[in-house]
Structure 1
Amino acid sequence: MPEPPVPHGLDDQGFIAREGSLARVPAVFRPVVASARDRVLGLFGSRLHSAYLYGSIPRGTARVGQSDLDLLIALLDEPTDAGREAVRALGEAVDKEFPQIDGVGTLLYSRDRLLSELERYDLGWFVACMCTPLLGEDLAEYLPRYRPDSLLARETNGDLARWLPRWRERIAGAEDTEEARRPLVRFMSRHLVRTGFTLVMPRWNGWTSDLREMAEVFGAYYPERAVQMRTAAEYGYEPTDDPDILRSYVDDLGPWLADEYARVHGVKTPRPED
């Protein structure tokens, strides 16, 4: 069995170290971040509890013209459909204004949801470890420290089996065009690689957000699936429009991974919306 990369991503006490910081945002993306920050504050005003960056921009690994801007917004009350629509419009406006990004993705939740017991090892972990504070009070102050253990693996990515039927519907409903298929390949590739990584994360005892490294870590423990996962990692960065790739995800790699995940870590606690 090949040796996995040397584990890292933990602090000196064995907890997952928080990724990203505003200091790591490359200069070319700082006007984008400033505009998004001001727009979020203007949109929600007194309803806003806090806002965060996540993804490649605060990690300092974003690629000009290829990376998107990822935001998480925490409100003092529950999001409404009008609020979600306003966030979508905000993202479109920022994307149109700044050519250095390729899209804006925004997660919108209430403060209570993010701090709830149900979300402690999913959205709570995400805020505490993957998100960089941008506005307001940092919710990480109210959350525990996290280790790369089986509980975290189960509650973050132990729901792949519930996603696969929805993926099949999205594939069937997508237009037969490159513009329709490429985003699906990118999204599903990233989801599968991250799920494959968290499957073996407790054995590796480390953390990374690099898709290629995630695939290498996974492949060290499941060499028979290593090529598939490395290919998915590449498509996570540079997606193809090949429909056969999508079919392989929902007919082969996805179902196998969902079954193995359930066997090793169990199934994620259902949410009300499930």
Structure 2
Amino acid sequence: MEFPTRIGVDNDGYILNATSLDKVNCAYKELLNQVIEILKKCAGAKLHSVYLYGSVGRGQAVFGTSDIDLSVIVTSPFTPQEAALLNEENRKFISENPIVPKVDYDIGMMDEVFQDNSQYYWGFWLKHVCICIYGEDLSIHFPKMKPNFQICRALNQDLIDTLNRSRKEMNEGEVDNHQLLSVLKRIVRGAYCYVAEKDESWSTSIQENLQILQHYFPGEINFKKMKGAFLHKKIPTVNEVLNYIDYFIDWFNEKTMERSN
């Protein structure tokens, strides 16, 4: 691998969107139609648009392992009753469709999408990560982007809170292998954001992320350990993941301070 890798960008350096309906397995297309109907039932007229991202949209999903990841834009917040109905309908959907372990709903408000400071979060997300599968496609209102630290800062804005929440869940109760690997993936993707601009790349592969991170942080032993876990499909223990969380919370804070100075 040569560096900078320029993976995932076009000849002019703009980030390519790896998500496409053409890549979605037919079995998932039918499930997506069902999920849209669930959202329409639960949200009604406030449902503006729905966007697919993640492994299903990249054609890399594995039956029984891969989540369906959706960004959902609404014109007003869900009421407690609507949220409860969505949870119940989602539970039934999962029980009836064993190839999907989970449906993740990333819910955003229409007025948030077009706030002045949202270009590098919602603008980037809808333009370069998602594909619209229902409603008006808001991505057309945003320009193409190149890898930059503003995107990194926007995507990682809730990273520390997410890791702290994961730590609390692991300390309070049982977590499954899927959750443990999800935490590792979140750490890797968060760390890769810090070198994407230097690498002039936007990779969606965990293995590529780790290979790139090892190049730019050759002394960081934890990236080597995590690469081995994913390469050999070795599920980490709860204690191992807790150690990663504690270490990388400090690591992320340190890297953010370095970029701010």
TM-score, reference length from structure 1 = 0.84
Considering only aligned residues, what root-mean-square deviation do their CA atoms show, in Å?
2.5
Q: Are 1:248 and 2:247 counterparts? A: no
User: Larger deviation: 216-225 or 4-13?
Assistant: 4-13
| Equivalent position of 2:150 in the other structure | 151
Counterparts of 2:167 and 2:131, CA distance in 1:
33
CA contact under 8 A between 1:50 and 1:138: conserved in structure 2?
yes
Shift of 1:99: 1.8
Q: Measured at CA, do residues 48 and 161 of structure 1 come closer, stay the same or move farther in structure 2, by a change above 3 Å?
A: closer
Counterparts of 2:234 and 2:141, CA distance in 1:
38
Counterparts of 1:230 and 1:30, CA distance in 2:
36
| Equivalent position of 1:188 in the other structure | 183
Q: Measured at CA, do residues 87 and 117 of structure 1 come closer, stay the same or move farther in structure 2, by a change above 3 Å?
A: farther
Shift of 1:94: 2.1
Residue aligned with 1:50, SS: strand
User: Larger deviation: 211-220 or 143-152?
Assistant: 143-152
- The runs of 5 or more residues in structure 1 that have no matched partner are 268-274
Question: Percent identity over the alignment?
Answer: 22
Counterparts of 1:27 and 1:169, CA distance in 2:
38
Q: Measured at CA, do residues 144 and 236 of structure 1 come closer, stay the same or move farther in structure 2, by a change above 3 Å?
A: farther
Q: Are 1:125 and 2:124 counterparts? A: yes
| Equivalent position of 2:216 in the other structure | 221
| Equivalent position of 1:232 in the other structure | 226
Shift of 1:28: 2.7
Counterparts of 1:127 and 1:81, CA distance in 2:
27
| Equivalent position of 1:43 in the other structure | 42
Counterparts of 2:236 and 2:183, CA distance in 1:
12
Structure 2 matches for 1:1-274, cutoff 5 A?
3-4=2-3, 6-175=5-174, 180-225=175-220, 227-232=221-226, 238=233, 240=235, 242-264=237-259, 266=260
CA contact under 8 A between 1:181 and 1:243: conserved in structure 2?
no
Q: Which residue type is aligned with residue 222 of structure 2?
A: Q
Shift of 1:156: 1.6
TM-score, reference length from structure 2 = 0.88
Residue aligned with 1:232, SS: helix
Counterparts of 1:106 and 1:7, CA distance in 2:
31
Counterparts of 2:99 and 2:67, CA distance in 1:
9
Shift of 1:51: 0.6
CA contact under 8 A between 1:115 and 1:143: conserved in structure 2?
no
- Cα distance per residue 1:176-230 (max 9 Å; x no partner): xxxx1534422220111001110100000111111111111111100112x5225
Shift of 1:128: 1.7
Counterparts of 2:91 and 2:113, CA distance in 1:
25
CA contact under 8 A between 1:68 and 1:105: conserved in structure 2?
yes
Counterparts of 1:234 and 1:74, CA distance in 2:
38
| Equivalent position of 1:271 in the other structure | none
- Cα distance per residue 1:133-160 (max 9 Å; x no partner): 1101011122232210122122222554
Residue aligned with 2:147, SS: coil
Q: Measured at CA, do residues 133 and 164 of structure 1 come closer, stay the same or move farther in structure 2, by a change above 3 Å?
A: closer
Shift of 1:121: 1.1
Counterparts of 1:234 and 1:45, CA distance in 2:
46
Aligned pair count? 260
Residue aligned with 1:73, SS: strand
Q: Measured at CA, do residues 127 and 189 of structure 1 come closer, stay the same or move farther in structure 2, by a change above 3 Å?
A: same
Counterparts of 2:113 and 2:228, CA distance in 1:
31
Q: Which residue type is aligned with residue 255 of structure 2?
A: E
- The runs of 5 or more residues in structure 2 that have no matched partner are none
Shift of 1:93: 2.3
Q: Which residue type is aligned with residue 15 of structure 2?
A: I
User: Larger deviation: 110-119 or 185-194?
Assistant: 110-119
- Cα distance per residue 1:78-134 (max 9 Å; x no partner): 333333333333322222221222211111121111222233212332122111111
